[in-house]
């Protein structure tokens, strides 16, 4: 079994090396690469040898060393969180289809799994040794501290192998519950002496490993494990980018399809059908949506600590970009799949999308809550009202514009759009001129009155 597994590892490495070599030769010119390396090396030397850059780096490492000494037991409980987050997508042990086929031969499944786990531990040891050696050579960090953390991380890596393997098999709600428990545990380490929490955590982890080891392969979805491990092994980002071929996982049922409410009889009503269509469309494009929402959220969290006017401008920009995202999804959905071929009630289709767009928008309240905490005043309430209603008016107005392109009977008042964008300007300058908020609240009261009369 060991010889066969080594044979698999050798041929995998050989195949990956050939693919990366081909990509390298297709992407880089050798002469240009040499000159580029010389330029990068010169810039690196110029930056780090000129001025006090080295001194600043030494001071940074001294601060990190002091923190790592004071918060040692906090790091003991915080480091496993990284393993749990990784176990959402992979089981921790690279048990691919090839390893699974080895178990069909006269090889005990436990031996194959242990061989793969040992490979994980050896790889982690090599990475930690390289990182520790680099720190020892190029930083003022003390040698005993480096050795302590290398041993600690390797020990936690070994202890978290079985928990990751079992965690990967859990239902999404179980995973979220355990993750929340770990987060609460790390918060408690700031309140209760972290020494006792760290010792208790390590003890429970060791007990869990001892009790779970005999039931290691009970309740394992092997198709799910091998699909995730195959994807991790062969998802070579550089090769995919160069060849324009994206490696995909095997088709798996989504989380929603495994929930009980999804299996209930479907109510064939107009709104229910439209909600299901939006659900499938958003699930298909969830990565694109999360990228935009994440970028906007990061911008707000950064600007809230810089300057008040910049933060309000960021809110106005977020409203504009997020509404454009929803409108582009609405326009694209009308010309995609079955929606393009059949007649639909566009107004109901719009209403169902508005419900889907409100839920992700609630996350933007958190940066504003931080802003409100540092700027408590009477004007926060009208400012928040303007933010909410401006978002509502703007998204409805833009969606109605799209509907107008399909239905000529829909009439829009152009000056309403002028008033809505005026609310965005009022929002931007509201911190400098608070009285503008009174004008903004008056405009909010006027717009629905004239919209109802059209």
Q: Give the pLDDT confidence of 428-452 residue by residue, as tens digits.
A: 888 888 888 888 888 888 777 665 5
CA-to-CA distance for 190 and 185, rounded, in angstroms?
A: 9
SS3 253: coil
* pLDDT score for 154: 92
CA-to-CA distance for 128 and 154, rounded, in angstroms?
A: 8
SS3 259: coil
* pLDDT score for 121: 93
* pLDDT score for 158: 92
292: nearest Cα among 349, 240, 353, 363: 363
- 238-247 pLDDT tens trace: 777 776 666 6
Q: State mean pLDDT over 294-305.
A: 85
> Does residue 454 carry a pLDDT above 50?
no
Q: Which residue's entry shows tokens 């982890």?
A: 205
- Say how far residue 32 (Cα) sits from the centre of its chain: 36
CB 288 within 8 A of CB 294: no
Q: How confident is the model at residue 124 (pLDDT cuts 50, 70, 90)?
A: very high
* pLDDT score for 411: 61
Q: State mean pLDDT over 85-94.
A: 87
* pLDDT score for 51: 54
- 175-205 pLDDT tens trace: 888 888 888 887 777 677 778 888 888 899 9
Six-digit token pair at 316? 């106005």
* pLDDT score for 414: 65
Q: Which residue's entry shows tokens 């978002």?
A: 391
Q: How confident is the model at residue 408 (pLDDT cuts 50, 70, 90)?
A: low
Highest mean pLDDT out of 115-129, 132-146, 211-225: 115-129
CB 139 within 8 A of CB 58: yes
Six-digit token pair at 380? 């926060």
CB 112 within 8 A of CB 5: yes
CA-to-CA distance for 116 and 125, rounded, in angstroms?
A: 14
Q: Is the pTM of this model over 0.75?
A: no
CA-to-CA distance for 285 and 287, rounded, in angstroms?
A: 6
Other CB atoms closer than 10 Å to residue 129's CB: what's the count? 13
CA-to-CA distance for 243 and 413, rounded, in angstroms?
A: 50
Q: How confident is the model at residue 50 (pLDDT cuts 50, 70, 90)?
A: low
Element of type H or E holding 279? helix 270-284
284: nearest Cα among 333, 241, 238, 217: 333
403: nearest Cα among 325, 345, 354: 345
Element of type H or E holding 69? helix 53-70
Q: State mean pLDDT over 368-395.
A: 85
* Average pLDDT taken over every residue of the chain: 80
> Does residue 405 carry a pLDDT above 80?
no
Q: State mean pLDDT over 413-435.
A: 80
CA-to-CA distance for 323 and 397, rounded, in angstroms?
A: 10
- 142-155 pLDDT tens trace: 888 888 889 999 99
CA-to-CA distance for 380 and 386, rounded, in angstroms?
A: 10
CB 316 within 8 A of CB 424: yes
* pLDDT score for 66: 77
Six-digit token pair at 295? 């970028």
CB 333 within 8 A of CB 339: yes
- 256-291 pLDDT tens trace: 555 555 556 666 677 788 888 888 888 788 878 888
* pLDDT score for 453: 47
* pLDDT score for 52: 63
Question: Over pLDDT 90: what percentage of the chain?
Answer: 8
Q: Which of 97-101, 325-329, 332-336 has the lowest mean pLDDT?
A: 332-336
Q: State mean pLDDT over 299-306.
A: 84
Q: Which of 12-16, 81-85, 269-273 has the lowest mean pLDDT?
A: 269-273
H-state helical runs in 237-364: 237-243, 270-284, 286-303, 308-333, 338-341, 346-361
* pLDDT score for 263: 59
- Say how many CA atoms lie within 13 Å of 302 toward its Cβ: 7
* pLDDT score for 365: 84
Q: How confident is the model at residue 249 (pLDDT cuts 50, 70, 90)?
A: low
Q: Which of 108-112, 318-322, 334-338 has the lowest mean pLDDT?
A: 334-338
């Amino acid at each position: 079994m060991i010889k066969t597994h080594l044979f698999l590892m050798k041929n995998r490495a050989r195949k990956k090396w050939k693919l990366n070599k081909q990509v390298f030769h297709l992407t880089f010119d050798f002469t240009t690469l040499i000159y580029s390396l010389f330029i990068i090396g010169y810039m690196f030397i110029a930056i780090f040898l000129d001025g006090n850059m080295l001194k600043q780096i030494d001071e940074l490492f001294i601060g990190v060393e002091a923190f790592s000494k004071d918060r040692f037991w906090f790091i003991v409980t915080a480091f496993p969180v990284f393993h749990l987050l990784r176990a959402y997508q992979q089981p921790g042990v690279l048990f691919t289809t090839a390893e699974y086929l080895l178990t069909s031969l006269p090889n005990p499944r436990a031996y194959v799994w242990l061989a793969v786990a040992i490979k994980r531990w050896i790889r982690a040891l090599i990475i930690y040794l390289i990182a520790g050696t680099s720190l020892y050579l190029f930083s003022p960090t003390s040698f005993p501290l480096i050795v302590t953390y290398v041993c600690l991380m390797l020990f936690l890596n070994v202890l978290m192998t079985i928990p990751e393997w079992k965690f990967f098999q859990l239902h999404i709600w179980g995973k979220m519950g355990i993750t929340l428990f770990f987060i609460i545990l790390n918060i408690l380490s700031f309140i209760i002496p972290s020494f006792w929490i760290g010792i208790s955590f390590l003890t429970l982890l060791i007990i869990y490993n001892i009790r779970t080891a005999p039931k290691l392969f009970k309740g394992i979805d092997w198709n799910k494990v091998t699909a995730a491990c195959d994807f991790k092994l062969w998802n070579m980002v550089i090769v995919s980018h160069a060849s324009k071929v994206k490696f995909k996982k095997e088709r798996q049922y989504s989380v929603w399809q495994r929930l009980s409410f999804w299996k209930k009889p479907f109510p064939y009503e107009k709104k229910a059908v439209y909600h299901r269509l939006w659900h499938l469309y958003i699930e298909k494009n969830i990565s694109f949506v999360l990228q935009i929402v994440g970028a906007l959220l990061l911008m707000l969290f950064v600007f809230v600590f810089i300057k008040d006017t910049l933060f309000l401008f960021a809110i106005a920009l977020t409203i504009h970009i997020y509404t454009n995202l929803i409108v582009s999804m609405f326009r694209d959905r009308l010309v995609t799949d079955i929606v393009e071929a059949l007649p639909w009630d566009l107004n109901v289709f719009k209403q169902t999308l508005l419900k889907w767009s409100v839920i992700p928008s609630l996350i933007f309240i958190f940066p504003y809550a931080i802003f409100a905490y540092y700027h408590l005043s009477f004007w926060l309430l009208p400012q928040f009202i303007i933010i909410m209603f401006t978002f509502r008016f703007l998204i409805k107005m833009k969606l109605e514009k799209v509907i107008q392109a399909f239905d000529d009977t829909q009439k829009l008042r152009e000056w309403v759009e002028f008033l809505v964008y005026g609310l965005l300007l009022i929002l931007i300058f509201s911190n400098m001129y608070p009285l503008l908020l009174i004008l903004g609240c008056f405009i909010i009261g006027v717009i629905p009155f004239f919209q109802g009369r059209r």
